[in-house]
Amino acid sequence: MTPKQAHDITRDNAGNAIGQATGNVKTATDAGPAGTSYQLSADLLATRTTGQWHDGTGPATGITSIEIDSRKCCAGSLFIALPGATADGHEFIGAAARNGAVAALVAKPDANIALPQLVVTDVAVALDALGTETRTAHAAAGGQLVGITGSVGKTGSKEMLAHLLCRTPGSTGCVASRASFNNHLGVPLTLSLLPDARSDTGVAPAVQEMGMNAAGEISQLSRMARPDVAVITCIADSHAGFFSSLADIAAAKAEIFDGMSPDGIAILNRDDEFFDDLAARARAAGITRIKTFGTHEQADYRLVSTTAVAAGQQITARLGDRDVEFILGMRSAHWAQNAMAVLATIDALGLDAAESAQNLHDFNDLPGRGAMSTGRFAKLGITLIDDSYNAGPRSMQAALASLHSAAPQILVLSDMLELGDASAAAHTALAPPILALRPRVVITIGDEMARMASNLPCLAASHHHADTPAAAISILHKLVCDGDTIFIKGSLGSGAWRVARAVLDAFSEAGPETAGDTISAT
């Protein structure tokens, strides 16, 4: 197995942020459900966006994918020319055409480019309309949609659910949001790819992650996607910098109920301190069917026990009225909790959760989420535990706790961001689990991590601070020893992923030795 690449934030070439990329993981096809092909006609595109074809001419062939980044266009692509933070997508229409795009959605047609262009008043509004209308057709054909939100565990749960839907008997596969396409651009882009007609095996369900940085954002996404099933993984302080309290975060996450019909199903964490509040908000939205997961004795989908095994975790669970045992390929206890949420969702979709659980044995090795790989870095054989996808207080604590069975010699830790006034305390709280691992080297990136480490005299000999990820890579080159295990984690914006990418790039250049288990948490 080749080591997977570290993630980056997903942006188009106009600078629009869509979410976070997870490397080259693929749980369902990027353009349509597993086992099917996506096809959108020129006439239907014009109808759903209320656009007009420039010169009256649409593409001669059907559209088979939709891209907002001209660099990702290929034969059959529709390029959506969004204005962005650093450039205007209209500047890249020609590049999209050269890469194989068959049409472009534009507000300003360029007559000098030989590419069919559908002209609309506002490209972003047209993308919203395309997503909304396609989801309406998907629902009319019988397609269900699962919306997933929460402070941590959104993308991991989405990937796990998509993994199962592509393997569970009786399932028609699924369309899952690419990477973490979870915002005002990523959601309509995913919805635009939904199948809108029933095949011989039915209509593939959709799995859509929903994220936010402010109150009101998830409400807008939910009204667009109209979930049949809504999952809230947990409430934590990952967004503390944007909200005054955890209660406000819970209220913002509960906006996922705003687009649901009364016959929808809410899936909630019974262990969460905001469970009662979230359940009340679901009922206030008219949703009476509430399923619960967790370790709580009253949870409908209850995690009874976990045992570490070579392949991951041996899970004992109570799924409704059935006792089930299965292997989960991920090792952290947080993944076992995610599995309960996902199996509750499988049941809500009318599939057999107990049978589906048996397909979790090969759910492992997600890029940036604890994927373990071994190769050569600085001409030395080392093992990388890449948990650099993102970090918050809860996920960082869980990740460090998961390392005790094979403590790494080197920790590379970058700041946890968006914590506001809670930041200093959250970073200080990392000291005990770091000390318990007794690492030989601790490399920090960012002011908060530096302060945490510098206040620990016992770390003085092992602590090395880097002002930038590039400096951290240089330090790592100098201090790594043959046979070391390196653990890397931090928030996306603080750059730990760049260090992981450098190590993985070195692995690729030298040729991978092995890549295998995942041993950390979301």
What's the confidence (pLDDT) of residue 455? 80
User: What parts of the chain have a pLDDT lower than 70?
Assistant: 1-37, 198-201, 238-241, 365, 510-522
On whether the 11-33+141-360 domain is CATH 3.40.1190.10, my answer is yes
What's the confidence (pLDDT) of residue 51? 97
Q: Which two tokens stand for residue 360?
A: 């979790």
CA-CA-CA-CA torsion sign (97, 102, 104, 110): positive
On whether the 371-518 domain is CATH 3.40.1280.10, my answer is no
Neighbouring C-beta atoms of residue 26, cutoff 10 Å: 14
On whether the 42-123 domain is CATH 2.70.98.10, my answer is no
List of residues 6+ apart from 338 with CB closer than 8 A: 153, 156, 157, 160, 233, 522
Q: Which two tokens stand for residue 189?
A: 């882009």
What's the confidence (pLDDT) of residue 172? 78
Q: pLDDT by residue (tens digit) across 305-350?
A: 999 888 889 999 999 999 999 999 987 778 999 999 999 999 999 9
In the chain, domain spans = 11-33+141-360, 42-123, 371-518
Residue 134 near residue 190, CB atoms below 8 Å: no
Residue 287 near residue 272, CB atoms below 8 Å: no
What's the confidence (pLDDT) of residue 461? 79
Residue 107 near residue 121, CB atoms below 8 Å: yes
What's the confidence (pLDDT) of residue 364? 86
Residue 505, CA distances (Å) to 5, 22, 387, 470 in order: 8, 16, 16, 14
Distance CA 145, CA 100 (A): 31
Distance CA 412, CA 354 (A): 39
Distance CA 159, CA 235 (A): 19
Q: At what angle do helices 123-140 and 217-225 cross, to 10 degrees?
A: 50
Residue whose pair of structure tokens reads 């010699």 in the numeric block:
409
Q: pLDDT by residue (tens digit) across 15-39?
A: 555 554 332 223 333 434 443 457 8
